[in-house]
Amino acid sequence: MRVDVVTIFPAYLEPARLSLLGKARDRGVVEIHSHDLRDWTTDRHRTVDDTPYGGGPGMVMRPEPWDAALRAIAGSSGPAPRPRVIVPTPAGRPFTQAYAAELAAEPWLAFCCGRYEGIDARVVDAWADDEVSIGDYVLSGGEVATLVMLEAITRLLPGAVGNAESVTDDSFAHGLLEGPVYTRPPEWAGRRVPDVLLSGDHGAIARWRREQALRRTARRRPDLLATLELHDRDRVVVAQTLAEEPCQPASDGAETTARPAGSDEPG
Ligand code: SAM
């Protein structure tokens, strides 16, 4: 996949050289090009913003540099199809795992990182295929939102994650939250790893994991269950979970043997 990111702060994209994204780039799974929007300004001060029509606080990003940048990027591969152009904005379509999977199927994405009060609506109308929100809060710019989306999308590209199963087992992959996870030692600070995980019985472990995922989802995100088709056994687990005493928001009653009441993950 090819990704172009247009921003007035290309250095914000430097973390995309680290960890999973960095390795995916090294392996050629994803190719990320960041561009300085100011390279497409024409005045001495490299101006990208101006006062809003109609008055009000803050500044708005001018359309001309964005249009010039997107023309240059979209035209840079000759007659090839143009990128799917994504504008991060709190007013956009909510970003989800399913949306990440949809974008991961694209060969070419271009992210337009707004700043100030956002980008002039005319150039967004002219170019954006998607306006996307990463959550109901307001960031100062689209760069962090772009990094969030890029990491979620890249995880789903073939060859990006060493063990492909870790992606298919992730939260949301099957509509459920992932349950609690443990590693050595088997006992830590008086808390034991659930016996079933040490049993070597793969069938029992799979059933326990499914049950924990259902319990956690029922307690923390019951909204996710509404769209899922559950087996009869799953339905029983959900009903039992919901019938239990109300829990602390961070507790899902995972069956560890020595966990203080009300705690979810150790530590
Ligand atoms: N005035 C805008 C509004 O209220 O919708 C907020 C502008 S915000 C200060 C500047 C930029 O940050 C936006 O243009 C967008 O690129 C980015 N941004 C802020 N919050 C975001 C969110 N929740 N999701 C995606 N992008 C966001």
The response to whether residue 144 sits with its C-beta less than 6 Å from ligand 1 reads: no
Q: What are phi and psi of 40, to 5 degrees?
A: -110, 20
Q: Tell me how far CA of residue 192 lies from CA of 8, 175, 210, 267, in angstroms.
A: 50, 28, 20, 13
Predicted confidence at residue 256, as pLDDT, reads: 47
The low-confidence residues of the chain, meaning pLDDT below 70, are 77-80, 165, 245-267
Q: Ligand 1 centroid to 112 CA: how many Å? A: 11
Q: Ligand 1 centroid to 92 CA: how many Å? A: 9
Q: Ligand 1 centroid to 229 CA: how many Å? A: 35
Indicate which residue's Cα is closest to atom 5 of ligand 1. 90
Query: What global pTM score does this model have?
Result: 0.90
Closest atom, ligand 1, to C-alpha of 61: 14
pLDDT in tens, 163-195: 776 787 788 888 999 999 999 999 999 999 999
Question: What domains are defined for the chain?
Answer: 2-165 (3.40.1280.10), 174-243 (1.10.1270.20)
Retrieve residue 162's tokens: 């060493």
Indicate which residue's Cα is closest to atom 11 of ligand 1. 141
Q: Tell me how far CA of residue 251 lies from CA of 88, 220, 242, 248, in angstroms.
A: 33, 8, 13, 5
Predicted confidence at residue 195, as pLDDT, reads: 98
Which residues belong to the active site?
90, 117, 155, 170
Contacts of 51 (CB under 8 A, 6+ apart): 59, 60
| Spatial contact of 89 and 117, defined as CB atoms under 8 Å apart | no
How far apart, in whole angstroms, are the C-alpha atoms of residue 252 and residue 260? 12
Q: Tell me how far CA of residue 187 lies from CA of 99, 166, 183, in angstroms.
A: 39, 24, 10
Please list the residues that pair with 110 across neighbouring strands.
4, 85
86, 87, 96, 138, best to mutate for ligand 1 pocket (most atoms within 8 Å of CB)? 138
In 3D space, the residue among 98, 102, 84 whose CA is nearest the CA of residue 2 turns out to be 84
Indicate which residue's Cα is closest to atom 12 of ligand 1. 141
How far apart, in whole angstroms, are the C-alpha atoms of residue 3 and residue 40? 19
Q: Helix, strand, coil % (nearest 5) of the chain?
A: 40, 15, 45
Predicted confidence at residue 77, as pLDDT, reads: 64
Predicted confidence at residue 78, as pLDDT, reads: 64
pLDDT in tens, 106-140: 999 999 999 999 999 999 999 999 999 999 999 99
Predicted confidence at residue 255, as pLDDT, reads: 44
Closest atom, ligand 1, to C-alpha of 113: 16
Predicted confidence at residue 250, as pLDDT, reads: 53
Q: Ligand 1 centroid to 140 CA: how many Å? A: 6
